[in-house]
Structures are given as C-alpha cells and as structure tokens.
Structure 1
Amino acid sequence: MHTYRYSAMDHQGRKLSGQLTAPGLTEARSQLRNKALYILDISLAPNFLNPFSILGALFRKLSPKQYRSASAADKVILFRQLALMLRSGNTLTQGLEVCAEMTEKLTLSRSLLDVLIRIRSGSSFAAAMDAQGRNFPPVVSKLIASAEVSGELQATLERLADNLERGAAVRRQLISSLAYPIVLFLAAFGVFMGLALGIVPKFAKMLEGKSQDLPAITQAMLDVSAWMIDYGAYLGGSLLGGILAILIAYTTRPGKAVIDRILLRVPIIGSSIRTSGMAQLGWTMSMLLSSGLTVLESLRVMSSITGNLRLAKCFDKAGSDILSGRSLAYGFQQSNIPVMVQHMTGIGERSGELEHVMHEIGKYYQHNAEIRIKAMIAMIEPAMTLVVGGMVAFVYIGFFKAMMQVSAG
C-alpha cells in the first residue's frame, strides 16, 4: 500500500486536500471519483525517511512546465482526445474529467475542471468554454454553441483541432527557419564586439609607439573601436530603450493598432502577415460556415481572433456593410484584402458555395504563406552570410595588414 497526497474539488467548487492509501495510482484515483471529487493533483506523499522521495516531490512542484499557459499543441491534443472519448461512447463530463487528469499543464487542467463544474451546475458547454477566455479563443465557444444545436460536437471538435494544427504548423515552420540565421547573427555580433572592445584596444596600444602610417582599413578599425568604447553604452541603452518602448506600446490597443498598420506597409513582412491573415480567414470562415454560423457571426469571430488589428478592422467593416444590406464581396473591397479574395468571395456568394470557396482560399493562401516563408529565409541566409563575413573580414584584414606592415619595418 502507498500513501498519496491529493487536492480535489467537489461539485460545489470547494477545494479539498488530504491523504489516502491505495495499492496504486489508479486505485487512488478511483477512490476519489467514487466520492464525486474532481482531481486537481495527486502524487505519492513524500517519505521523510527517504531524502530522494522528498527531492522528487520538490522538483515536481517546482517544475515550471505545469504552470505555463496552454499552447496550440496542448489544445489540439485536448480537442482530439475529447472527440475520441465522445466517439467511444463516453459522456461529455466523463471526457472532460479524463482530459483534465491527462493534461500536464496545471492552468489548462483547472480550466477544464471549471468547465466541468459549470456543466454540472446546469450551464451549457459553450457558455462554460466562453468563461475560459484566457485559455480558449471566442471561436471555440461559438463553434461549440452551434454544435450543441446541430448535435455534431464530435465533428466540430475535430475541425477545431485541424484548424489549430494548421496555424501551429505555419508558426513552427517560421520559427525553425529563422532560428539558424538569428543564432548566426548573434554569434557573429558577439565576436565582433569582443574583438572591437577587447582585442583591438590592446592592438592599438602596441602600435602607439610606431611612427609609421597605418593602413586605411586598420585606422578605420581603430576609429570604430574607439567610438564603440566611448559611445557604445549610449547606443546600446538607446536601442534597448527603443525596443522596450515599442514592446510597451504594443501592449496597449492604440499602440498595437499603429504598429500593426506600420507592419502591413513593410515590404516583405507586410505581405507575409497579409497572406497568413487570408489563410486564417479562409480556413476559419469555412469551418464556421460549415458549423451553421451566419456570415455576419463568422466575421465577428474573425475580428476577435485576428492578431493584426488593422485586418480585424477590415473584417469589422465588412460586417457593417452586410448589416447595411451589401454583399460580403463588396465588404471585402479594401486595400488590405487581396483582389483575388474579393473576386472568389463574389463567386462563392453567387453560386451558393461560399463555404467551399473559403476552404479553397485558405488552402491557397496557406500554401502561398509557406512559399513566402521559404523565400524570405532563402533571402535572409545569404544576407546574413554577407553581413557576418563583412564584420569578421573588416577586423581581421585590418589586423593582419597592420601586422604585416609593422613586421616589414
């Protein structure tokens, strides 16, 4: 028999904690379920005669992984698990309870338990998910509300998982592609600063007693090093202050709106953001329309989940045009929405296949976004090579030319 320490919640939402004895972890969980308790955490109670047991319990509590917010991958796994539980004949509450126990993220587990308690108290699944705005975007509650009416909850959860997975795949590809150039640039910048602030000043002292004129590139290297020593701290402070100011402004809605508008006008970055936004528009609106939501409701959901506020404003304007009796194609006649999306939307409205057209738009622009990411990385890598090579070559050529001149007398 083992002793387990647990924390759980009852059907009224009160948190309970204590200890119990059971042959194994499965039996301990069964004991708590038989008492109608929702498990928050359960683990072996530390044996104070065994120091390794105490250290193991301490490391589990201090692990930062369980306190991080839920990622897109966590939500994909959750929706797929919940759909599988429903397909296997389990009830929604049983599926939620099992998913809450299986997830490693403490914040997501507590959100699911809160959803479970609200459902037990008579709330709908959609309303309970809507109350968890920190972990789930509005599109989740909207789709679930529609699925509860149509009875297609399992299919809706699978669509949600597919949609989140597609967006996560694009972000993952972008991050993995940019990792190498960024690391290369930081390493080269560190080498350059080490040479400019550490090696070059010592080299300059060695040349002070020489009456010869130094090569132009060597003199330029010494001048850059002296300038960095004198004003480098001010430059670094100004850059750091500017970055912090931008980040702080980005946390406010007016500042984010201005920065988002500027980003859309940057040649390469703006087109990439616009392409990704159109891919999200196509996939999400196709999913929402197929779940029974109206075009106006779909646009409102799109506006609430779009990261770029300028694009979100475009969707708001399209919704206002629909309320005024105009078509979606007319509402999309804006500078930040590509002409192809405007024409394809009009075709979908006239043929009555808007859902299918939006799906094709999402497929096309996601493929286009992947191509743009690859092209951008293909441009960045040689540019980084030139920058890094130029920085290192500048220092080494100046150093060795001076050494050769001094050694030649």
Structure 2
Amino acid sequence: MQFHYVAAQPNGKVVEGNLEAQHPSEVLEQLAMGGLRPISIKAIRSFDTERRKGLFGSTITVVDKVFLTKYLALMLRVGTDLFQAINILIADFDKPAVKSFLIEVRTTLEKGKPFYVTFAKYPDFFSPVFVSLIKAGEASGNLENIFNDLSFALEKERELRSRIKAALVYPVILLVASMLVMFFLVAIALPKISAVFETAGIDPPFFSKVVFWIGDFLGGNLILILVLMVGGGIFSTVYFRKTSVGRILIARASHRIPVLKNVLKRIALQRFASTLSSLMKAGLPILESLEISADAVGDEEIKSALLRVSREGIAKGVTIGEAFKREEVFPRVVTNLIAIGERAGHVEDILKTLSDFYETEIDASIKTLVAFLEPMLLLFIGITIGTIALSVIVPVYQLIGKF
C-alpha cells in the first residue's frame, strides 16, 4: 500500500512525498536511509477502497469530471505544470473518492507513466472516448484544449440529462401517486367493502368478485408483496444497469415503443456526431475514431453500422461519405452533410453542427414523448379507478334493493 510522508532534511527543509510499503515501519526505514527525519506518516486509501466503502461504491460523477477537466484546463492555460495542477486539485477536493483517484494519478506520474493510464484503469467512470482524448492530447502536447473540449462536452451531457429528467418528473410523479392510491384502494379499502357485502349476503357480479379477490389477495399478503416489490426493484436496478445482457434487453424493449424509439435514436445520433467530432478534432485516425464512437453511442443498430463503415467501407478504400450512405440507419441529412464535409476537408466541423442539430431535436422529441405519456397515464388511471368504482357501485345497488 501507499503512505504519504512529511519529513525534514538535515538542513531543516521540510519535504513530502509518497512511498510504497507494507507497513509504516518500512517507511521509517526508507526515510532513515535517505537521511530524512519523519514528521508524519499516513496511509493513503486507494481509489478501489473508497469505491467499496458504500453499498454501491463511491462514485465519480459527471459534475466531478466537469470540475476536474475545467480546472485542469484553466491551470494549464496559466502555465501550471500538470504535476503541480494535480497537487492543487488534491488539496481542493474534499470528496474521498476523487481525492484518492487524484493521488493515484499523481503516483502514476511520479513513476514516469503516461497521464492517461490511471483513467484507463477505471472504465466504469471514464469512457474510452475520455481516455482516448486525453491520450491524444498528451501525445500532441495539447492537453489544455482537450480538457477544454472535455469540460464543454461533459457540461452539455449533464445539461441534456437534466432536461430529460426535468421533462419526465411530472409523468413519473403522476404514475407513482396514482399507483399508491390504487394500491390503497385495492389492498386496504376493497377487502373491508367486500366483507360488508359478504355479511349482507350479497352475491356481486363476476367482475366485482374478480376485483374483490384481487383486493383480498393483496390485503392478505401485503408485507410479502412489499418485500417482493423492494427486492424486485433492487434486482432490476442491478441487473438492467450493471449487466450487458440487462442493458441489451432494456434497449430492445425500449426500441419497440415508437415514441420512445425516436427519442433514443436521436440521442444516439447526437452522441455519435459529438464523439466522432471530438476524436477527429483531437487528431485520432478516422478508423480508430469510428471504433471508439461505436462503443459510445449506446444503440446496437447504430453501433453495428459504424463498425461496418469502418471495417467494410473506409478500411477497404471507400470514401467516408460513400461508406455512410450505404447504411440506411443514418438519416439522409447526416450522410449528405458528411459527404459534403469530406469534400471540403471539414468532417469534424460538420459533425459538430449535426451534434448541435440533434440536441435541439432531442428536446422536441422529449416534449412529444411527455405529451404522449400524460394522456395515456390519465386514461389508464381513469379506467382502473372506474373499474374499482363500478365493482363497488353495482353491489351497493343490490344491497339497496334489499330494503
């Protein structure tokens, strides 16, 4: 494990650094061999340790990455060297996971390894696009501009996610509230009402019996059902978000819903255009850029098309524009503009324009989705509550008729 030490030289000058050791006593020995008098020694928690502390591990969020890239770009712009910039960030960051990660980055630099190596170790937090851009920037000596582009792209991604979440807040609240009300009616109120009819000797219609049976079942197994719901929710979250099979199943199911399919396709096209533009602008070869972009789009159909463009098109001498025109998954406006950009020698600029265009289209698609969801939810709620009400009203009239 690693230890951070503060020690004094024979002339009284205080120095600090990190050492690899199995025990603090080994650190003391190494300092003594170097003629240093230890002032303090502290074990450094690794990033992996911080990740395992919580239930789902401590994370580096999009906001953390925006902060990192923005401040690194700023410090490099004013002439701060990379190692010093990392030290400043370590001192500024309070979040344990980020601080541990930055300490690991600093250790990597101290060992003479490339800057991108530590980022590449954690693909759950840093995508291949992120790592490839840093690698390209480090190789070209253009890290400042790369960090600027990354912070801008991450900020736009964060804003897009925020807009999607904000647009879906009302439908989700409406759905959850209505489900709770219906669960209360069916599981708590209906069993009591059905007991009244049973006591009065009323034989309700068949559909009323079905509704009352559902109510009796839910009311009699309330704790078991709640446990199953919570367990099912946790399992679904882990399975569908953490496993590749689960993500593929969710993607396939989502693409069977026409309105949702349009939103997801536009998000994938925006991500493709933005990613490929950034990679080409950073100087990566077109074939490598396409391979990385294919993994980043999050849509199996577009991913397959991009891989064919790379491997069966451009790699065999076909022009970029012609290779894209072979793939029907891409709208005509995309393939035509890419062909025009290729002839003009500005493919990355055209892709940036397409990214901005699809960002606007995503907003319009989300509004259409919400406009579709709201009446559908209200219709579902109305039909369900109407069925419950009817199952109660008919036996009530039968009861009144007895008097």
TM range (shorter): 0.7 to 0.9
- Is it true that 1:225 corresponds to 2:215 in the alignment? no
Distance in 2, Cα, partners of 1:131 & 1:245: 27
Among all aligned residue pairs of Structure 1 and Structure 2, give the percentage whose two residues are the same amino acid: 23
Deviation at 1:361, TM superposition (A): 0.7
Q: Which amino acid aligns with 1:223?
A: V
Match of 1:26 in 2: none
For each residue in 1:34-73, what CA deviation from the matched residue of structure 2 results, as whole angstroms up to 9, or x when unmatched?
Answer: 98999958xxxxxxxxxxxxxxxxxxxx996995211111
Distance in 2, Cα, partners of 1:260 & 1:133: 21
Q: Which amino acid aligns with 2:102?
A: L
Deviation at 1:13, TM superposition (A): 4.3
SS at match of 2:18: coil
Distance 1:251 1:136, change over 3 A: closer
Distance in 1, Cα, partners of 2:303 & 2:40: 44
Say if 2:190 and 2:215, in contact at 8 Å, map to a contact too.
no
Q: Which amino acid aligns with 1:116?
A: R
2:356 equivalent among 347, 363, 376: 363
2:382 equivalent among 383, 389, 392: 389
Report the RMSD for the aligned CA atoms in angstroms. Answer: 3.8
1:279 equivalent among 236, 248, 270: 270
Distance 1:398 1:65, change over 3 A: closer
Distance in 2, Cα, partners of 1:65 & 1:89: 41
Match of 1:206 in 2: 196
Distance 1:88 1:293, change over 3 A: same
2:177 equivalent among 174, 187, 194: 187
Pairing 1:218-367 to 2, within 5 Å after superposition = 220-230=207-217, 248=239, 251-253=242-244, 256-257=247-248, 259-320=250-311, 321-332=313-324, 333-367=326-360
Distance in 1, Cα, partners of 2:247 & 2:322: 27
Deviation at 1:354, TM superposition (A): 0.6
Deviation at 1:369, TM superposition (A): 0.8
SS at match of 1:11: strand
- Is it true that 1:74 corresponds to 2:56 in the alignment? no
Q: Which amino acid aligns with 1:80?
A: K
For each residue in 1:59-101, what CA deviation from the matched residue of structure 2 results, as whole angstroms up to 9, or x when unmatched?
Answer: xxx9969952111111011111111122232211111122233
Distance in 2, Cα, partners of 1:129 & 1:243: 29
Q: Which amino acid aligns with 1:340?
A: V
Deviation at 1:174, TM superposition (A): 1.6
For each residue in 1:232-255, what CA deviation from the matched residue of structure 2 results, as whole angstroms up to 9, or x when unmatched?
Answer: 979997998799589647755456
1:108 equivalent among 89, 98, 119: 98
Distance in 1, Cα, partners of 2:252 & 2:203: 52
Unpaired runs of 5+ residues, structure 1, are 1-6, 19-33, 42-61
Say if 2:191 and 2:216, in contact at 8 Å, map to a contact too.
no
2:108 equivalent among 108, 118, 134: 118
Distance in 2, Cα, partners of 1:35 & 1:132: 34
Deviation at 1:289, TM superposition (A): 1.6
Match of 1:49 in 2: none
Distance in 2, Cα, partners of 1:358 & 1:263: 26
Distance in 2, Cα, partners of 1:100 & 1:304: 31
Match of 1:30 in 2: none
Q: Greater shift after overlay, 169-178 or 359-368?
A: 169-178
Distance 1:142 1:15, change over 3 A: farther
Match of 2:141 in 1: 151
Deviation at 1:213, TM superposition (A): 7.0
Match of 1:23 in 2: none
